Structure 1
Amino acid sequence: MFQLMRQSPWQGAMSLRDAMNQLLTDSFVQFPFATGGERNLVPAVDLSETPDAYVVEASVPGLKAEDLTITFEGNVLSICGEIKRESEKQEQNYHHTERYCGKFQRSLTFPNMVKSDEIKASLQEGVLRLEVPKAEEVKPRQITINVGT
């Protein structure tokens, strides 16, 4: 004989919430561990869309244009760079350090074809801005309806 057990209708929703929290946690920038573990720099990126182009804005404070490399292959845009720390003074004993130095890479996959030969990049006040024009076939267009006479 089977026993009936009462279950909360929210039991499945709680696991969904936990899954969404994990997804959001994995999607955001990973900061260096304060305890001294391996440090990964992943620049924070905003991706927006206009009717004619995708716009990428990446936070790269303290970097100059010559510290960055931008490539586009297939439908993947990659931003690579290196943060170089000034030579540490030997007479100082560090008790805690969180500033990152080293190489990083951030890649974005575009859902549609773009005009990769027309991508424009600018760097101003620590923000790298890329304008990635859409290919003609992915631009939305309005189709008129002819009414029969």
Structure 2
Amino acid sequence: MNLRIETPALLFSATSLILLAYTNRFLTIAQIVRGLKKNYEDNQTKSILLEIKNLNLRLSLIRYMQLFGVLSLFLSVFTMLVIYLNISYLAIYIFGLSLLSLLISLGISFWEISISVNALRVHLKDLIEETNKK
């Protein structure tokens, strides 16, 4: 199999956009955590504490999503260097690792989104039950 230098370069735009999305998620959750922490200091309820715990898990997952996303980008650039040095057999394996890193990052992203959706459903369930009582 012959790998051309343009192939790993194709991941640049996709990976950059994914990393930007991950960073936006991180910043949003960090802002929510700060607000909840202040709210918890005023009203020490168990539900706020559970929500902070959930958000802490999501922040950890986002950190790993970013880690594997950056690793994918790094390995793509490294693949291009190896192709430039004309070591094609090694380039194929490194590029494969780059794709695997991106796949892991996307898998963790799916996990984090699932946690987020479940948390929102809990909030909606309370509202739906309250609406049904009226």
TM range, normalised to the smaller chain?
under 0.3
Which structure has more relative contact order (CA 8 Å, sep 6+)? It is: 2
TM-score normalised to structure 2 length: 0.27
Identify the structure with the greater strand proportion. Answer: 1
Q: Which has the larger radius of gyration?
A: 1
Identify the structure with the greater helix proportion. Answer: 2
